[in-house]
Amino acid sequence: MIYEKAYAKVNINLQVKNKRNDGFHELESLVLPLNFCDEMIFEFSHENEVISNVYIKDNVVLKTIELFQKEFNLNKPVKVILNKKIPVGSGLGGGSANISATLRGLNKLYNLNLELNELELLANKLGSDTLFCLYNKPAIISGRGDKISFINYDEIMSVLIILLPLKILTKDVFNNHVIDTKNHANILEYNDNDLLKTLLNNNEKFNAMYHKIQQVVPHVKMSGSGPTLFVTNYTEDILKKLQLIKDINLLSVKILK
């Protein structure tokens, strides 16, 4: 039996540079891992199966198992027990984290002793943020998320995650996005998320909740394609004010070390 943690991530900023010929968008973002995670248990079984505490329509874990077995010519079936804590569709990378944790877990379960860099190709085949989630280190990601540059980063220690009762499809946000790169700066000096304006213009419920929160915290940010918002290095006063807002859930987390 193997135990793995699938850590969430937060996009501190996000630049959308252009749309590629393969349909993906060229991105650049400073991404940090969080000490908030799904828990996964791997063991051999009579058939491949994934048992989860929540229903997942697109079972990326099962797809990862099947691709891993095919890639390394493995026949012994695997059961995965997934205790999901990262909200689905929240912009915190839960699906990518599950894929990457599955790659690490299967590597250990089958006793292949592969280095993480030997799993990179599979990670990139399976998703856009999976390479970052494979390593869980502060990094600048680029391309469609398949290029990564690790950095030393200690400017942010704590993050207050603001979960909204909304489901946002990433593909819808990108489909509505009009690319504008004129304000782009060095990614480490960039304070915006290019997709925020797009979501504000195309989702009335998100717009209303965002502006209600912004009245309390003017410097609130959005992670990824939303709808999750966050505040960095927050104070107790900010926390108390946000606790008065209805229909949101707050999660206090640290940057994973």
- pLDDT digit string (tens) for the chain, length 257 residues: 999 999 999 999 999 988 777 767 889 999 999 999 999 999 999 999 999 998 876 789 999 999 999 999 999 999 999 999 998 888 899 999 999 999 999 999 999 999 999 999 999 999 888 999 999 999 999 998 889 999 999 888 899 999 999 988 888 888 888 888 878 889 999 999 999 999 999 999 999 999 999 999 999 999 998 899 999 989 999 999 999 999 999 999 999 98
Q: Of residues 9, 38, 146, 221, which has the active-site annotation? A: 9
Question: Which distant-in-sequence residues (6+ apart) come within 8 Å of 169 by Cβ?
Answer: 89
Active site residue 9: yes
Write the class of the CATH domain 158-254.
alpha beta
Predicted local confidence at residue 131, as pLDDT: 95
Instruction: Give the predicted TM-score (pTM) of the model.
Output: 0.93
Helices (H), 143-203: 170-176, 194-202
Residue 162 pLDDT? 97
Looking at residue 152, its amino acid is: N
Q: Based on the number of CB atoms within 10 Å of its own CB, is 136 exposed (0-12), middle (13-18) or buried (19 or more)?
A: buried
User: What is the pLDDT, as a whole number, of residue 168?
Assistant: 85
pLDDT at 167: 85
* Domain ranges across the chain: 2-150, 158-254
CATH architecture of the domain with residue range 2-150:
2-Layer Sandwich (3.30)
**What is the DSSP annotation of 12-40?**
S-BEEEEE-TTS-EEEEEEEEEEEEEEEE
Element (H, E) at 69: helix 60-71
Residues whose CB is less than 8 angstroms from the CB of residue 60 and which lie 6 or more positions away in sequence, other chains included: 95, 98, 99, 126, 127
pLDDT at 96: 94
Burial of residue 174 (CB within 10 Å: 0-12, 13-18, 19+) is middle
**Beta 158-163 vs 229-232: how paired, if at all?**
antiparallel
The answer to whether 137 is a known catalytic residue is no
- Pick the catalytic residue from 63, 76, 125, 129: 129
